[in-house]
Structure 1
Amino acid sequence: MAQTQRPDAVTPVFLLTGFLGSGKTSLIRRLMESPHLTDTALVINEFGEVGLDQLFVQSAVENTLLLENGCVCCSIRGDLVDTITDLFARAANGEIPAFSRVIVETTGLADPQPIIAALQTIRSSRPVVLGKVIVTVDGVLGAQQLGSADEAVAQVVQADVCLVTKAELSNPNAINALVGELHALNPNAAVEVLRAGSFDPDLLLAPSGSRLAAPSTYRLAPRRVRGSQVVRHRSVESWSEEIEEPIMWSRFRDWLDLLYSLRASHLLRMKAVLNLVGHRIPHAIHGVGPLVGALEPFGDWGDDTATSRIVVITKGMDAEIIRQSFRALVLPGRAQSERSADHGGVGSS
């Protein structure tokens, strides 16, 4: 009998991407072989690329396959949104089993940004939330690809989790250097080096309620950025900052409005977990490309100090401009102190 699910249940959609040959196929196999992922819908580009033979296809409904392990698998038919919407409709009609999560696998040259934007437009029988962007990075060729392929960089800067594959085929020093480069490109992403016995599909796909993770729900938390930091990688730059004093939401909102009205085409990613004036719990907000989500509550601080953490990743734009505008509009007192210090501590009369 097909599983049933409350019509108001939220379904997380996990985007799995990675450059050509980085190990997405192997990762999908490992994911789908997990006994706890039976109620999963997998949307892929080509069945043959994933190698589903060993999973023993039981039956097929047009382009939708029901696998022996209970998972539903289908190929993208032109439009991703239509494909996922169709899956929900079939599950509601009892044609296929109900599912509680969706995994979308992209091509190796895909830029996640338009795909993420498309996922945010899905209107189906059940609410959909973007769970995580998971990126596989080749442990042997990853550094070379990041240095020569804009697509590889675009995938990393959009990631919530970076999985370094083929570590056993590479020099440990090279792996450490690659991990450092990934942290530099996307300081707020969790980075995991896949090794034998270290892979936990359930933890990787655990819905977090928000794409922002502070700390990450995966094995390795994002690297903590102390103070203010600007990192440059070819045409991509990132600005990261931690602020201990509470921030006024009205000032932060006005800064975002200005930033996105003037520079939206240069913005790749924005993430923030905020310690707001008048609020005892953290609030999160994130942007992908020119799209910015709503401010939403984000759990609690737990053992962490109530500290705002912000990351903005740009392309073709000086991240120092981001830092200066933030200081001027959101932290005007700190900006004034810095200007006074630059002039020998002498303020205006």
Structure 2
Amino acid sequence: MPITKPKKIPVTILTGYLGAGKTTLLNRILTEKHKQKIAVIVNEYGEVGIDNQLVVNADEEIIEMNNGCICCTVRGDLIRILRTLVFSMEEGKVEFDRIVIETTGLADPAPVAQTFFMDEKLSGIFDLDSIVTVVDSKHITKHLDSHDEAQEQIAFADMIILNKSDLLSNAEITALEKRLIHINPAAKRMNAHYCQINLRSILGIYSFDVNRKLEIDPHFLEDHHHHHHDDQVTSVAFKEERPLDLEKVEKWMGYLVQEKGEDLLRYKGILHIDKMDQRIVFQGLHMLFSGSPDRKWRSSEKRLSELVFIGKNLDKEQLQQQFNNCIAE
């Protein structure tokens, strides 16, 4: 039975602090025989370090690779290069199955992710698959202590690759994972050495799309305990079996987006609404929020609201009280 291609072209955003191993992973994507045609967009072509013999024409903005991939440079506007790719595809000049965007030089992946929601033409063509953050396991603790950018990259992640994890003891890995969970409990994590991972574990996982993610993992928020750190970015998670009042939830979300949107880096969840047989799913990046009815609750599953907020200056007690006010009477 043939595999049906998705209606939209999936996009993976790759981020991570300096020295984490993004270039190593990009080289693997561009040179490995994965039988996929992937368009890799990088900020500056020179940073990728691809061997010259792999490049068909290094003078052009869109560069075809021997394994069927293409490599694009962003010298200006991301929207422009994406539209150039789409035009080239429509003209039959290039062909690709998915896009990987590496955010070198961008401390915050949010503007890249927002591109696929704010631009109407692009949102109709592309589907944001996941935000993947590569972590230098040996040095990430120091980076988290001194660089807000490193915390934000963890906060936005759907998947965290703990690269160079072989340099840590089991106790150090456990401590690091606890800290990452403190910042972002919803992200999945995997250990790696020289980014030697199966590309299927980061491509086509659709963990940014809450609707599709919940089909795979209905309870994406595992129980976790907060640990005391000085991280500016933290997370707050809620679970509630009692149904929520939809009108109150809408007012609360409207308030949060307007008043706290800049501090809310990522937020997502599934809601059990009073007198509704459908689940409500939502997600947001800063002030960009979306929510919609999903499938009906199954008779075999517990109706449960699960929410996670990841951001700066989060007042857990205040958020808890606001959430409690949304419980239906």
Same fold, judged at TM 0.5 (above): yes
Counting only pairs closer than 5 Å after superposition, residues 109-188 of structure 1 correspond to structure 2 as 110-124=107-121, 127-188=125-186
Aligned-partner SS, 1:102: strand
Q: Say whether residues 1:308 and 2:321 are aligned partners.
A: no
Q: Which deviates more, 30-39 or 288-297? A: 30-39
Match in the other structure for 1:16: 14
Cα–Cα, structure 1 residues 302 and 153, in superposed 2: closer, same or farther, change >3 Å? farther
Give the greater-gyration-radius structure (CA): 1
Aligned residue among 95, 98, 103 for 1:106:
103
Is 1:331 paired with 2:322? no
Matched residues in 2 for 1:133 and 1:171: separation? Answer: 27
CA deviations on 1:6-52 (whole Å, 9 max, x unpaired) are 9x931121110000001111112233344335221110012222222
Question: Which residue of 20, 25, 37 maps to 1:39?
Answer: 37
Among candidates 84, 87, 97, match of residue 85 of structure 2: 87
Does the CA-based 8 Å contact 1:208-1:217 persist in structure 2?
A: no
The answer to whether the 8 A contact 2:182-2:226 is kept is no
Q: TM (normalized to structure 2)?
A: 0.86
The corresponding residue for 1:255 is: 252
> Any unmatched runs of 5+ in structure 2?
none
Alpha-carbon separation, structure 1, partners of 2:116 and 2:54: 29
* Counterpart position of 1:73: 71
Cα deviation for residue 155 of structure 1 reads: 0.7
Which segments of 5 or more consecutive residues in structure 1 lack a partner in the other structure? 334-349
Which residue number corresponds to residue 342 of structure 1? Answer: none
> Offset at 1:102?
0.9
Q: CA RMSD in A?
A: 3.1
Q: Which residue of 2 aligns with 1:272?
A: 269
Q: Quick check: 2:30–2:65 contact (8 Å CA) kept in 1?
A: no
Once structures 1 and 2 are overlaid, which stretch shifts more, 284-293 or 167-176? 167-176
Match of 1:208 among 206, 209, 222: 206
Code of the residue aligned with 1:85 in structure 2: it is: R
Tell me if structure 2 keeps the 8 A contact 1:39–1:70: yes
Percent identity reads 27
Q: Is this contact kept in 2: 1:183–1:223, CA < 8 A?
A: no
SS of structure 1 residue aligned to 2:261: helix
Moved more, 12-21 or 172-181: 172-181
- 1:345 maps to what in 2? none
Bigger Cα displacement from structure 2, 293-302 vs 43-52? 293-302
The size of the alignment, in residue pairs, is: 323
Checking the alignment, whether the CA contact within 8 Å between 1:245 and 1:307 is kept in structure 2 is: yes
Secondary structure in 1 matching 2:34: helix
Contact in 2 for aligned 1:190/1:222 (Cα 8 Å): no
Are 1:23 and 1:165, in contact at CA under 8 Å, matched by a contact in 2?
yes
1:244–1:306 CA contact under 8 A, matched in 2:
yes
State the shift of 1:60 in Å: 5.4
SS at 1:312 equivalent: strand
- Partner Cα distance (2:263, 2:65) in 1: 42
TM-score after normalising by structure 1? 0.81
1:175 aligned partner, one-letter code: I
Mapped contact 1:17–1:108 kept (Cα < 8 A): no
